[in-house]
Amino acid sequence: MDIHTVLVLSANLADPDLKLLGQLPPETNIAVGNSVEAFQRLANEADVILSWSASGKLLREVFGMCPNVRWVHSRSAGLDTVLFPELVESAVPLTNGRGVFSQSLGEFALCAILYFAKDLRRMIANQQAERWDPFDIVEISGQTLGIVGYGDIGRAVATRARAMGMRILAVKRHGPSLYNVDPLVNQIFPPEERTQMISQCDYVVCAAPLTPETRGLIGEAEFAAMKPNAVVVNIGRGPVIDEAAMVRALTQKRIKGAALDVFDTEPLPAGHAFYHLENVLLSPHCADHTADWTEQAMRFFLAQFERYSEGRPLENVVNKKQGY
């Protein structure tokens, strides 16, 4: 049996989920740290790197120290800080936490849709003011939802929206073959036809990863194409949407609203327009933070390690050139 050496990059060395690493085979060598110095002794023999909660800068430095690394795993699903050139160009496989957090994000998207459809902000304001003020609400059954970035998260959104009777459209870089049509989706569009899709939508959910191709994917042209009643929900990466263009559309009320879990700058700076717009619902990048989300992420890594140590195919292997 091979003896493996795992380097675990963690910003918080007291993270309780790190204790789960005790479930690795007893002969496994493990080093946990948040600095280059913590890994110098075992770097030469390391074959696995787990990027648990450290910066992309540290991962890049540690990767450069490990000539025998054979697998890198990232806890997060987003890879925009992980895909540095040396890793991309190497033959080392990279896996990520894709799918671990998708269900919670799907629920958040549905929550956001219902928040605007039922005007929950108005209900809460009336209740706090002790004001009896009946008003009309929107039925989402029969309305159109467009999903930009139809991967695991997009599918989780589509599953829930379809159950509510919504019509589903999606933008996907690589569409299904003629004989592999997704039953959840009425139509799939290539990225260059996204404006055509967006113009039909009552709700636009952005679940795309951040890559050079997706940065600013939703900008002035896309907001101009939206219906006046359109609501934007971003659960992917902040810079996929042109933030300035979105602020203008919301301020001028050219669209109905936005529900945002991700932003260009995090934490969102004090005084930002989003804090003051009544047609915005903010989540501080925690839409997938269930009570056990990090435990789930660690258990996924442990299952991956078992596959790796047994020579079985890894799950969630990233196409490093494409960025997801």
Q: Report, as an integer, the average pLDDT of 185-202.
A: 96
179, pLDDT greater than 80: no
310, pLDDT greater than 50: yes
Claim to verify: residue 106 and residue 238 sit in the same structural domain: yes
Claim to verify: residue 63 and residue 206 sit in the same structural domain: no
Claim to verify: residue 174 and residue 242 sit in the same structural domain: yes
Please state the separation of Cα 53 from the chain's center in Å: 15
- Per-residue pLDDT tens for 208-267? 999 999 999 999 999 999 999 999 999 999 999 999 999 999 999 999 999 999 999 999
Claim to verify: residue 133 and residue 264 sit in the same structural domain: yes
152 in a structural domain: yes
pLDDT of residue 177: 45
Claim to verify: residue 56 and residue 83 sit in the same structural domain: yes
Claim to verify: residue 94 and residue 107 sit in the same structural domain: no
Q: Report, as an integer, the average pLDDT of 270-282.
A: 98
321 in a structural domain: no
Between CA 271 and CA 162 the distance in angstroms is 37
Claim to verify: residue 221 and residue 73 sit in the same structural domain: no
323 in a structural domain: no
pLDDT of residue 173: 83
pLDDT of residue 80: 85
pLDDT of residue 78: 87
Claim to verify: residue 79 and residue 224 sit in the same structural domain: no
Q: The domain containing residue 92 runs over which residues?
A: 5-100+291-309
pLDDT of residue 81: 85
Between CA 30 and CA 8 the distance in angstroms is 7
Claim to verify: residue 26 and residue 138 sit in the same structural domain: no
Residue 134 burial (CB count, 10 A) = 6
297: domain CATH number?
3.40.50.720
Q: Report, as an integer, the average pLDDT of 82-99.
A: 95
Between CA 72 and CA 317 the distance in angstroms is 10
The H or E element spanning position 145 is strand 144-148
- What are the φ/ψ torsions at residue 131 (nearest 5 degrees)? -115, 125
14, pLDDT greater than 80: yes
Claim to verify: residue 138 and residue 273 sit in the same structural domain: yes
323, pLDDT greater than 50: yes
Claim to verify: residue 42 and residue 131 sit in the same structural domain: no
- Per-residue pLDDT tens for 48-71? 999 999 899 999 999 999 999 999
- Per-residue pLDDT tens for 147-171? 999 999 999 999 999 999 999 999 9
How many domains does one find in the chain? 2
